Every structure is written in C-alpha cells, then in structure tokens.
C-alpha cells in the first residue's frame, strides 16, 4: 500500500510552523494519538509501516500498533513507557508541525518542562474512563506555568465509554473547575478515539453529537504566535562580526551584530539603545548574507549594523529607544528544579539569560507549589521536579522582561558549574 500517496507534491502554501506538545498519563494512548496523526495525515512511509506491522505481529497483536511509531529508545521498549521527549514531524500541505511527545511519569517532569518550553500548543490527554486525574492537573499546571498559550483537552478512549456525551460533559466541567482557578483561559475539548481514528484527522461516525472541530482542524487554524499583542523589540547579541579582511578595505570598518530577534520588530533608521552601556544610535542596516532587509521580525536571525561605532559584545542587548527592559540585579522567578542534586542555598550557580551569563545566589524561597494540590508551602530547599517561587541575587545585571510578556527575555536556565549540567529552568515574574 502507498501510505503517503496524498502528500503534497506542489509548492506548499506556507502557513508557517506550529510546535505542539502532547502530554498525558502513561496509558492514556498518547503514542497512539501521535501515530494516528502521522498515519491519517499520510506521513508514515511504507518501510516504517512494515516494520511496525512486523513488530505488532511478533507481539501477537491483530491490529497495527500505531504507538510503536513513537517508541524510540531500547530502555523504553523494555519498560513499555516513554522516558524522554521524542520529536516527530508532519506536514499537512499548509503547515509544518513539530510534535514534542512528553513522558507522563512523574519522575520525568523535567522532560515535560523541556518539551513545553518551545511549544505553542499543548494537547492534554484524558482517559474517558478515568476522567481528570492528579496527573492531568499537574500537566495542565506545567503547561500553563511555561506559558503555552493554547490548551486542547483530548478526551480519549471514547470507544470504551460507548461514546457517551454525558461522560464527556462531566470531564469537561471537572477540568474547567480547576483550570479556571489556575487562570487557564484558552482551552478546548475534543472527544476522540485515537485507536479508531475518531475526531483526530477524520470525524468518524460515532461522535455525531459533537459538532466542534477535529484535532487537526484546531492545529491548522491556531495562530502560530506566542503572543498576539504588539511586542517590544529585543535583540540579544550572540556574536560580533569584524572581518578585518586585509584584502578588502570595504570591510575594514564592518561591525555586524549578529543574533536572533527574540520579540518585536526593527526597521532601518530606528533609534536603538544598547545595553548595558545605555548608548543610543540608529540602525544603519539589517542584513542576511549581504542582502539588506528593510525590517526584521521576531524569530529572524539577522546581522544589525549601527550608525555609530559602539563597543558591543556577546551578552549585550539592542532594544528600541524608549522601550527598555528592566535592568535587574535581583530577580523573582518561578523555578523548576530539574537536577537530581538538590538546590544548595549556600552555593553559587551560573544563571544564563538570553546570551548573557551571571553568577547567581539564591536570595530566598517564597514558597513551593505542591503540584498535586496546587497549594503553596514553605520550603527550605528544592529537589528534583520541585516548582517554587524564588529570588536570586545576580553578580551581573540582566535585561529582563516578565516571562508572561516575553518568553525570550523572561526565561533563564541555571547551570551547576561543578558538573556543567543544566539544573533548573526559571521564569521571571
């Protein structure tokens, strides 16, 4: 059979790229859901399909187990669970998708946070037989904490509850009760059966009472933007280009400031301020590989040239004059501790924010969040998977915005210099 005969062969009308996250408990059918999206969107290729057909047969299954498509590592095959984020790709002809498949087990919360940090949308799976579980609340809280703007609650395994509208309605109201309290606003509900393919790509015939969109309809139409409000221009400098090519005198004075626009837009001629120096100048040119662009937008990697000669290095930030971020030596943040070694309040850590590093010391833990009850508790120390509101003192100032306004300039990681490991993820409040 030709599994992908309907893949587009024409130039793709491009509606950009959407990154989404799938999360749920171990047995909610997450891998089957992803397998179904790939299968029904004709993204699975013949040899991959044959391989999973063979494996399914070897395991004595009489249908093809689509969850095998996302089953990556040896250890997972042995344990039958997903232990790390796996990335999958498919395209519908209008949009390219990157799926981060996050594990459901509690001890792998750090991987869920990792997957959530780059996602624009989260699909939270609920087993229709079990309803809203602690795990559901935990994943929803994390998705919300990490600022994923769109949440889709997929009530799966409807086939096992006779496609009952009452079950779906009850789960929906249970979910809304705690989601509203958390402050989650953009949430949609879909009843589905990943096993049978109902309401994922095709509507199927067994959920006539549901008149909302299918999962793919939502994915196709959701805006692929982190925020829809006008954003302030933020350009952390990654690298300075000074060619100093003796053979080419034109390049003698070339100073290109290279980086990716974290948010906002910039045009040639705009007035800018460089941090930390505070020097002001104007944009002389914006380039990619010698080509001049009249303006640049969020997520674009460019080289900026300025009118005046200003000493700028990696870790500095170019912003529009009059739109300065906070220049902070102390920050308050929500912190997710990711490391097996607990946070040691006496130690100095390295804090990495944009392209800037600073030594950091814990100044205090305001509270720890019990992500099962959402209660705030007093805490002296933090262990792996703990989430807490903390404050840090910094040796060097950083140029920060609240995470809720700008992911790029509101996020940071904490590095333990004794191991070089990334030990925490932080979001500035």
Partner 1 sequence: MSTATLSRVTLSHLDWLESEAIHIMREVAGQCSNPVLLFSGGKDSICMLRIAEKAFRPGRFPFPLMHIDTGHNYREVTDFRDRRAAELGERLIVRSVEDSMARGTVVLKSADEPRNKHQSVTLLEAIEEFGFDACIGGARRDEEKARAKERIFSFRDEFGQWDPKNQRPELWDLYNARSFKGENMRVFPISNWTEIDVWQYIEREHLALPSIYFAHRRPIVRRSGGLLPVTEVTPARPGDSIENLMVRFRTVGDITCTAPVESDAASVTAIIAETAITTITERGATRLDDQTSDASMEQRKKEGYF
Asked if residue 230 binds partner 1 (CB under 8 A), the reply is: yes
Among 86, 124, 158, 394, binds partner 1 (CB under 8 A): 86
Of 191 and 408, the one with the shorter C-beta distance to partner 1 is: 408
Among 338, 365, 388, 398, binds partner 1 (CB under 8 A): 338
Spatial distance between the Cα atoms of 426 and 149, rounded to a whole number of angstroms: 18
Among 185, 277, 301, 373, binds partner 1 (CB under 8 A): 301
Among 81, 251, 268, 328, binds partner 1 (CB under 8 A): 251
Site for partner 1 in 98-157 (CB under 8 A): 98, 110-111, 113-114, 117-118
Find the shortest distance in angstroms from Cβ 198 to partner 1: 26
| Secondary structure of residue 325 in the 3-state scheme | coil
Dihedrals phi, psi of 50, to nearest 5 degrees? -60, -40
Q: Is the distance from CB of 336 to CB of 387 less than 8 angstroms?
A: yes
Of 184 and 425, the one with the shorter C-beta distance to partner 1 is: 425
Asked if residue 209 binds partner 1 (CB under 8 A), the reply is: no
| Secondary structure of residue 277 in the 3-state scheme | coil
Size of the site for partner 1 (CB under 8 A): 87
The stretch among 21-29, 123-131, 168-176, 290-298 that binds partner 1 (CB under 8 A) is: 290-298
Peptide bond into 33 cis (omega under 30): no
Q: Is the distance from CB of 224 to CB of 15 less than 8 angstroms?
A: yes
* Residues with Cβ within 8 Å of residue 335, at least 6 apart in sequence: 382, 387, 388, 389, 390, 414, 424, 425, 426, 427
Q: Is the distance from CB of 333 to CB of 391 less than 8 angstroms?
A: yes
Of 3 and 363, the one with the shorter C-beta distance to partner 1 is: 3
Site for partner 1 in 372-411 (CB under 8 A): 407-408, 411
- What track of x and - describes contact with partner 1 for positions 177 through 196 (by CB under 8 A)? --------------------
Site for partner 1 in 31-50 (CB under 8 A): 45-48
| Secondary structure of residue 10 in the 3-state scheme | coil
Spatial distance between the Cα atoms of 383 and 142, rounded to a whole number of angstroms: 17
């Amino acid at each position: 059979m030709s599994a992908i005969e309907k893949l587009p062969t024409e130039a793709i009308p491009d509606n950009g790229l959407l990154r989404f996250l799938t999360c749920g408990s171990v047995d909610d059918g997450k891998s089957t859901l992803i397998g179904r999206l790939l299968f029904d969107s004709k993204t699975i290729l013949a040899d991959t399909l044959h391989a999973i057909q063979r494996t399914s047969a070897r395991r004595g299954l009489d249908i093809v187990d689509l969850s095998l498509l996302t089953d990556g590592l040896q250890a997972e095959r042995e344990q039958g669970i997903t232990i790390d984020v796996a990335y999958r790709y498919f395209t519908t002809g209008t949009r390219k998708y990157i799926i981060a498949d996050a594990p459901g087990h509690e001890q792998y919360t750090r991987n869920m946070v990792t997957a959530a940090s780059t996602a624009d949308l989260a699909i939270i799976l609920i087993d229709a037989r079990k309803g809203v579980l602690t795990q559901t609340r935990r994943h929803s809280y994390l998705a919300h904490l990490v600022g994923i703007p769109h949440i889709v609650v997929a009530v799966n395994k409807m086939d096992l509850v006779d496609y009952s509208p009452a079950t779906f309605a009850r789960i929906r109201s249970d979910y809304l009760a705690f989601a509203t309290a958390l402050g989650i606003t953009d949430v949609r509900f879909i009843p589905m059966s990943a096993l049978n393919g109902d309401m994922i790509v095709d509507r199927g015939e067994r959920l006539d009472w549901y008149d909302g969109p299918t999962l793919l309809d939502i994915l196709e139409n959701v805006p692929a933007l982190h925020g829809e409000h006008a954003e302030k221009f933020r350009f952390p400098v990654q690298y300075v280009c000074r060619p100093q090519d003796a053979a080419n005198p034109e390049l003698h004075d070339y100073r290109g400031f290279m980086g990716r626009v974290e948010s906002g837009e910039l045009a040639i001629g705009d007035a800018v301020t460089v941090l930390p120096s505070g020097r002001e100048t104007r944009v002389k040119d914006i380039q990619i590989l010698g080509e001049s662009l009249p303006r640049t937008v969020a997520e674009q990697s460019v080289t900026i040239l300025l009118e005046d000669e200003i000493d700028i290095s990696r870790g500095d930030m170019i912003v529009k004059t009059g739109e300065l971020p906070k220049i902070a030596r102390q920050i308050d943040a929500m912190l997710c501790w990711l490391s097996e070694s607990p946070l040691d309040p006496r130690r100095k850590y390295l804090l990495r924010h944009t392209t800037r590093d600073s030594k950091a010391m814990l100044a205090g833990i305001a509270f720890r969040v019990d992500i099962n009850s959402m209660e705030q508790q007093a805490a002296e120390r933090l262990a792996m998977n703990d989430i807490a509101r903390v404050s840090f003192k910094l040796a060097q100032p950083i140029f920060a915005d609240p995470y809720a306004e700008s992911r790029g300039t509101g996020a940071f990681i904490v590095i333990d210099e004794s191991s070089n490991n990334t030990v925490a993820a932080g979001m500035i409040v």
